[in-house]
Structure 1
Amino acid sequence: MDYKDYYKALGVDKKATNDQIKKAYRKLARQYHPDVNPNNAEAERKFKEINEAHEVLSDEDKRRKYDELGADWQRYQHAGAGRGQAQGGFDWSQYQQAGGGGFESFGDDGNFSDFFSNIFGSMGGRGGSRAGAGQDYQAELELTLEDAYRGGPRTLNVNGKSLRITIKPGVEDGQTIRLRDQGAPGRNGGPNGSLYITLRVLPDARYARLGNDLTQEVQVPLYRALLGGEQVVDTLSGSVKINIKPETQNGTRLRLRGKGFPVYNKEGESGDLYLHLTVQLPQRLTDQEKDLIRQLAALRND
């Protein structure tokens, strides 16, 4: 039976903290989840592998037992015992569960490898099994920019179950929300897993977002740019009037304080909205308009 390197499976160092292990697991679980990779046997294999690694490394007792096994395994290899022969020559007996002694069985052994079951529990021996947390679920939810701005209730289906959640204003693309107890059922009375929802905020044709600030392109008629005046601009919080100064140049940037995106989890705080003014040249000029422009050009010696 081959030794399984659970640290390598999660891409973490052997001195990794519990938080580092959890972070690596969540990232890989999202990448290889069956819902993201339908009918992909390799992704399914990888998903089971990282779940098995997380099952061991996230538990203090199981991780200690696994590290002891790893140290003995290295000594066995360094002694040359594995050269030219199968690694099955390693003495597993001191780590195997026998007759309910040692480590107790847990989980659905059908989801784990022979290596796992041989060290941490007998196949099918559940009489003395201990509790374990259920598997975490992963899901994605698409939002428009306006949805992310306003927040509010949303409904999504996960594993055949309809869930109603409330999105807080100001969420960002890629942000993850955790719902406790909405994952797989716990084993033998253990707690349910969690549901991690990754939010995908769709691009918007009107606004560009950078953090909590927004940028908007605004076209200003030539005559208003030259002579000044008021102009109505649409924002995510409603229409506002802005003052165009006389002789406003093409490319001028205006800042509207507090008209950007809400700051997540900080009620009453918002970013700013930056208006990029583009002077719009008139089209389909009449003969009279052309004559007036020629007169203006002559006056300015252009």
Structure 2
Amino acid sequence: MAENKRDYYEVLGISKNADDAAIKKAYRVLAKKYHPDANPGDKNAEKMFKEASEAYAVLSDPEKRRQYDQFGHAAFEGGAGGSGGFGGFDFSSFEGADIFGDIFGDLFGGGRRHSGPSNGPIQGANVRTSVRLTFEEAIFGCEKEISINYKEECSTCHGSGAKPGTTPETCTKCNGKGKVMYTQQSFFGTVQNVQTCSACGGSGKVIKDKCSACRGSGYVIKKKTFKVKIPAGIDNGLSVRMAGGGEPGVNGGPRGDLLVSAVVSDHPIFKRQDINIFSTVPVSFTKAALGGKINIKTVDGEVEYEVKPGTQTDTKIRLKGKGVPSLRSSSLRGDHYVTLVVQVPTMMTPAQKEALRAYDEAMNAFTKNDEKTRKKGFFSK
């Protein structure tokens, strides 16, 4: 049947001098593409997957590859010490088990097989909390106190979790390795899968007599207060990281971090956009027409501004350097943009109304005289 088989190098799409990395990479691509779970009911995909797996089983093994290079497919059909073709290969003994774990992890979200120990030092998880800030506190920075439920080492068992006078024992299920290897049969042979030991949770140790103070966890929960320095310019949703303020590490690993998220309250006057501040300031009709000084509120206090005569509503002015300090550079600060809105009086006394009518008549007379003057000058030319 050898003449019906495709060349293994052709199957994987590699040259005959390909190294181990190239062989593995080629097989990984094909295995992911034709895996039956990714192509349910596709017989051709199943066939291609088996063909690629057979080629990889041979070419990834130095001895089998040497035999194949010398005798071809006949090397595994009984003519030269074969073992019965594809069905005779022992998949539990070749390196494809590692790549299978990678493929399954990519396709179905499962964990990969790691060659390193799973019970080594692991950093603890981060803890998240939030702190409410006023608009001004976020602009200029401040120091806040926060309280969280903090895990501390149990003083009774000193973190071992075992009753005083006893010690944790080596887990018999994983023999202290923290991981268990499962073997299962599939259509392409025997597959090995490594999982965290359920008996010890990956620590490699089990506690027979638990500490009564911490119930075997090795830690106790205490309310702890931290002082958090909030940097000037922090914005809503950004976090301050406090190293070592999180969950305890596992197997001697370092603690995680405490992440304090800023919740900034709205301001009744100011609106923020990045490092700039925006606000609206009312200007009286008289002040807009005649000009004059007005006071504008900023985060630094009130500043005096000279309104130009004839200022129109929605006029925008810029107060340089009155915005938000930059988190990237303490020497950089944004601007404050102010929109001037001319206010029209809604309630007036009879005398004010009469004065306004007189103003209107005077403006109309001025406009008519101006037009006559311009026309006279035009025709005189």
TM-score, normalised on structure 2? 0.47
What residue number does 1:273 align with? 336
What residue number does 2:124 align with? 134
1:2-46 Cα deviation digits (max 9, x unpaired): xxxxxxxxxxxxxxxxxxxxxxxxxxxxxxxxxxxxxxxxxxxxx
Equivalent residue for 1:149, pick from 139, 144, 155: 139
Aligned residue identity for 1:222: F
Using the TM superposition, give the Cα deviation of residue 293 of structure 1 relative to its aligned residue in structure 2, in angstroms.
0.8
Using the TM superposition, give the Cα deviation of residue 203 of structure 1 relative to its aligned residue in structure 2, in angstroms.
2.3
Using the TM superposition, give the Cα deviation of residue 265 of structure 1 relative to its aligned residue in structure 2, in angstroms.
4.2
The CA RMSD measured in Å over matched residues stands at: 3.5
1:267-301 Cα deviation digits (max 9, x unpaired): 23211111101111224311111111111111122
1:168/1:265 contact within 8 Å kept: no
Using the TM superposition, give the Cα deviation of residue 202 of structure 1 relative to its aligned residue in structure 2, in angstroms.
2.5
Using the TM superposition, give the Cα deviation of residue 141 of structure 1 relative to its aligned residue in structure 2, in angstroms.
2.1
Q: Does 1:231 align with 2:221?
A: no
* Residues 92, 257 of structure 1: alpha-carbon distance in 2 compared, 3 angstrom cutoff: farther
Aligned residue identity for 2:137: D
* Residues 279, 137 of structure 1: alpha-carbon distance in 2 compared, 3 angstrom cutoff: same
Show the 5 A alignment for 1:187-266: 187-266=250-329
* Residues 232, 92 of structure 1: alpha-carbon distance in 2 compared, 3 angstrom cutoff: farther
Using the TM superposition, give the Cα deviation of residue 168 of structure 1 relative to its aligned residue in structure 2, in angstroms.
0.9
Show the 5 A alignment for 1:26-105: 78=35
CA distance in 2 between counterparts of 1:291 and 1:119 reads 91
CA distance in 1 between counterparts of 2:324 and 2:261 reads 19
CA distance in 2 between counterparts of 1:232 and 1:268 reads 27
SS of 1:156 mapped into structure 2:
strand
* Residues 133, 249 of structure 1: alpha-carbon distance in 2 compared, 3 angstrom cutoff: same
Using the TM superposition, give the Cα deviation of residue 79 of structure 1 relative to its aligned residue in structure 2, in angstroms.
6.7
Aligned residue identity for 1:217: T
Aligned residue identity for 1:216: S
Aligned residue identity for 1:152: C
CA distance in 1 between counterparts of 2:91 and 2:270 reads 62
Using the TM superposition, give the Cα deviation of residue 264 of structure 1 relative to its aligned residue in structure 2, in angstroms.
1.5
Larger Rg: 2
1:201-255 Cα deviation digits (max 9, x unpaired): 2222211111111111101111111111111111101111011111111111111
CA distance in 1 between counterparts of 2:300 and 2:92 reads 69
CA distance in 2 between counterparts of 1:273 and 1:189 reads 51
* Residues 242, 300 of structure 1: alpha-carbon distance in 2 compared, 3 angstrom cutoff: same
CA distance in 2 between counterparts of 1:219 and 1:273 reads 16
* Residues 93, 166 of structure 1: alpha-carbon distance in 2 compared, 3 angstrom cutoff: farther
Unpaired runs of 5+ residues, structure 1, are 1-66, 85-90, 95-114, 123-127
CA distance in 1 between counterparts of 2:237 and 2:356 reads 52
What residue number does 1:24 align with? none
Alignment: residue pair count = 204
* Residues 286, 143 of structure 1: alpha-carbon distance in 2 compared, 3 angstrom cutoff: same
What residue number does 1:53 align with? none
Identity, % of aligned positions: 30
CA distance in 2 between counterparts of 1:264 and 1:132 reads 32
Using the TM superposition, give the Cα deviation of residue 78 of structure 1 relative to its aligned residue in structure 2, in angstroms.
3.5
Unpaired runs of 5+ residues, structure 2, are 1-23, 42-89, 94-109, 150-222, 368-381
2:230/2:240 contact within 8 Å kept: no
CA distance in 2 between counterparts of 1:286 and 1:140 reads 54
Q: Does 1:288 align with 2:278?
A: no
CA distance in 2 between counterparts of 1:119 and 1:133 reads 18
* Residues 283, 186 of structure 1: alpha-carbon distance in 2 compared, 3 angstrom cutoff: same
Aligned residue identity for 1:154: K
Higher relative CO (Cα under 8 Å, sequence separation at least 6) belongs to 2
CA distance in 1 between counterparts of 2:311 and 2:283 reads 9
Aligned residue identity for 1:156: I
CA distance in 2 between counterparts of 1:78 and 1:243 reads 76
